[in-house]
Amino acid sequence: MPSLAGPSVVKRIQLAYNIVNGVGTKDDKLHDLSQVVGSGLHISEAVPCAFGIVALNQEDPLQAVIDAVNIGYDTDTIATIVGSMVGALANVNDSPISGLFNAVEHANEFNIVELANSLVDVVNTNEGKRT
């Protein structure tokens, strides 16, 4: 089977989990995620680093995003991936997430739930056209 150029994303996710489950302080593990796995734009760094940060902050989705913002290098990419991952699982009614959720809606003058539902409607409409 031909190999693709670049490191294996799956193996680098495993490496991130090994770092998270290894010895050391949380700061040591974040440092190792940044320096060993990498926190750059390339998928073989950004995605495994995001998985590591989420695993490191299993009980605190907000802290996961904060750590992603502060990991260094391509922080907007890492934080966007982490935020998407933890946001899909977070309860928006929990504090302090509810306050942040409301602040984002207010600052941008839109209803996020309504926007998400309209995107689902577009997908469902387009799925019907393909069959």
**Which residues fall in the annotated binding site for Mg(2+)?**
74, 76-77
Q: Are 19 and 37 in contact (CB under 8 A)?
A: yes
Q: Cα separation of 116 and 26, whole Å?
A: 34
- Which residue ranges are tagged as binding site? 74, 76-77
Q: Cα separation of 35 and 41, whole Å?
A: 14
Structure tokens at 112: 């996020």
